[in-house]
Amino acid sequence: GAGVSQSPRYKVAKRGQDVALRCDPISGHVSLFWYQQALGQGPEFLTYFQNEAQLDKSGLPSDRFFAERPEGSVSTLKIQRTQQEDSAVYLCASSLASSTGTGTNYGYTFGSGTRLTVV
């Protein structure tokens, strides 16, 4: 598609419920990122995929968070047993380039995010 698409736009979950957030990156984009943005804060890195390989998951806050990108395109971020502190906007971004370090301009395209509210 023309941009990065995320669904659902809004999700209200009861504490303890499992949720799954979907990201459709731009077709052909190699790299995919998930960020978490708490209210009034900047986005914080969660995890990074290069094609189907999850190369960095250092930002995932706990083992309740799990992300996958099985075919190197669509990605799903799953949060198990949601807690109130998980309430945030979850942003997905994709990039045509891979993480090759220097020489990579690295243009990111962000989706509109999923706003998760845990009650």
Please identify, using beta-carbon distances, which residue of 44 and 68 lies nearer to another protein.
44
Residue window 57-96: x/- pattern of binding to another protein, with contact defined by CB under 8 A: --x-------------------------------x-x-x-
Residue 24's alpha-carbon distances to 6, 31, 75, 91, 114, in angstroms, are: 6, 12, 7, 11, 12
100 is a site residue for another protein (CB under 8 A): yes
Shortest Cβ distance from residue 87 to another protein (Å)? Answer: 16
Smallest separation, CB 111 to another protein (Å): 5
Cβ-proximal residues to 103 (8 Å cutoff; 6+ apart), any chain: none
**Sheet strands (E) in 1-119:** 5-7, 10-13, 19-24, 31-37, 44-50, 53-56, 65-68, 75-79, 88-95, 109-110, 114-118
d(CA 21, CA 111) in angstroms, rounded, equals: 12
Per CB under 8 A, the list member of 1, 28, 42, 70 interacting with another protein is 42
With contacts defined by CB under 8 A, name the span among 12-20, 42-50, 62-70, 72-80 that binds another protein: 42-50
Interface positions with another protein (CB under 8 A) = 4, 31, 33, 35, 40-45, 48, 56, 59, 91, 93, 95, 99-102, 104-108, 110-113, 115
